[in-house]
Structure 1
């Protein structure tokens, strides 16, 4: 792949949208879900599969087990943005990146400096009491130490603002992502298997001829992209921007 050609395309674009998944954070030390070392494989054989433990029903029925798994596997407070996150933030500062659509819940894009971030699946950094709706940051409830974090105002159960299995995506966020992708003159897709719907279907809204797909392994949408790179997200993005 001619990286110089892709760099020229980036420079020639003024409405770039980025769409990313779990693979964008693996180089920050956060496991993805479906790769060889992903969460779904490393927890195989456990009493409850991850899809069940991360479901709405499981959260309501077994909140203590949900939070045990959630604390251990889904929260990575020490993770730092990698070179790819920083490159995207730089593109936004330049005025070339108009929106960043992510399936991740780790908040690393914001930590890198990105501002227009559309979080399809929510964020571990936003939490709220299910009864009185009092809000809590990750740093406010994580140190409480209780098996199930309770609201300090009313005693209700605190729920993370993340989309669990059996829950719907936020319509406003999803529609904003649709509009951004449809209006973009370049779409960069990275770190996603493009197998989780409805999020994966968003890329069909792109009608241009500058779609770049960066992933370690093939996806069902490789033929849809003009440029497919089986490479590191952080490496490719830093080379495209710097």
Structure 2
């Protein structure tokens, strides 16, 4: 772990981690807004349109073609950042992971208190009867996945035009308010309302670890422009 960050961690008793797509890049999951990211690739429709509630309703076949091709990475495994955060939680230092990611890698690494602002690909429900389906169920299906009742199975991911889950959002606000160290990593902080959660932090120190500058850098106590996995890697209890 970076020496400057280690000092902040050692001085803290209630750390909250706020992360985004950059956390999972080292697990082979591409981000969205970098030069090679998803939003810079060419499709018949812009990714922002495909990943909208309206598009899901109007063109479910095209939605699921894109979703399976570009949003699902079942082979991905936790990287050094995920594992370090899980160890921090086990050590009693880290109280919550607030993530914009939908891949479930924090839980796979061993983290328990994970607040998924944008949902998870591992949870899927029938839009008609509410029956639960796993990621494997969706992967085994073809075309538009359907429930036994005939309803369309929708991933529990927040699409453009949909509100964040209020229970998860409120839990994230409470965690950030109680934190003495807020560690922000692997996120451009350009996605709202998620990025707006930082305004609830009033603790002792704000640390930002990201490959590129973020809007929070000016108010941060520590800014490290590097990959979150490299910075957190090597942490030991």
Same fold (TM over 0.5): yes
Q: Counterpart of 2:76?
A: 79
User: TM-score normalised to the size of structure 1?
Assistant: 0.95
Q: In the alignment, is the contact (CA less than 8 A) between 2:178 and 2:203 conserved in 1? A: no
**Alignment deviations for residues 198-228 of structure 1 (CA, whole Å, 9 cap, x no partner):** 1001111111231110000001111121101
Q: Counterpart of 1:12?
A: 11
User: TM-score normalised to the size of structure 2?
Assistant: 0.97
Q: Counterpart of 2:223?
A: 228
Q: Give the whole-Å Cα distance in 2 for the aligned partners of 1:49 and 1:241.
A: 43
Q: Counterpart of 1:151?
A: 147
Displacement, 1:239?
4.3
Q: In the alignment, is the contact (CA less than 8 A) between 1:54 and 1:66 conserved in 2? A: yes
Q: Give the whole-Å Cα distance in 2 for the aligned partners of 1:23 and 1:64.
A: 29
SS at match of 2:16: strand
Q: Give the whole-Å Cα distance in 2 for the aligned partners of 1:162 and 1:16.
A: 26
1:119 and 2:135 correspond = no
Q: Give the whole-Å Cα distance in 2 for the aligned partners of 1:241 and 1:226.
A: 23
Q: Give the whole-Å Cα distance in 1 for the aligned partners of 2:55 and 2:223.
A: 38
Give runs of aligned pairs for residues 162-201 of structure 1, distance below 5 A: 162-201=157-196
Displacement, 1:241?
4.9
SS at match of 1:25: helix
CA RMSD between the two structures: 1.3
Q: Give the whole-Å Cα distance in 2 for the aligned partners of 1:213 and 1:5.
A: 12
Displacement, 1:60?
0.4
Unaligned runs of 5+ in 1: none
Displacement, 1:237?
1.1
Q: Counterpart of 1:69?
A: 66
Runs of 4+ residues deviating >2 angstroms: 2-6, 239-242
SS at match of 2:121: strand
1:128 and 2:125 correspond = yes
Identify the range of structure 1 (208-217 vs 53-62) with the bigger mean alpha-carbon deviation: 208-217
**Alignment deviations for residues 6-35 of structure 1 (CA, whole Å, 9 cap, x no partner):** 212212211000000001000000000000
1:160 and 2:155 correspond = yes
**Alignment deviations for residues 32-90 of structure 1 (CA, whole Å, 9 cap, x no partner):** 000011000123xx220000000001000000000000000000000000000000000
1:98 and 2:57 correspond = no
For this pair of structures, how many residues does the alignment match? Answer: 237
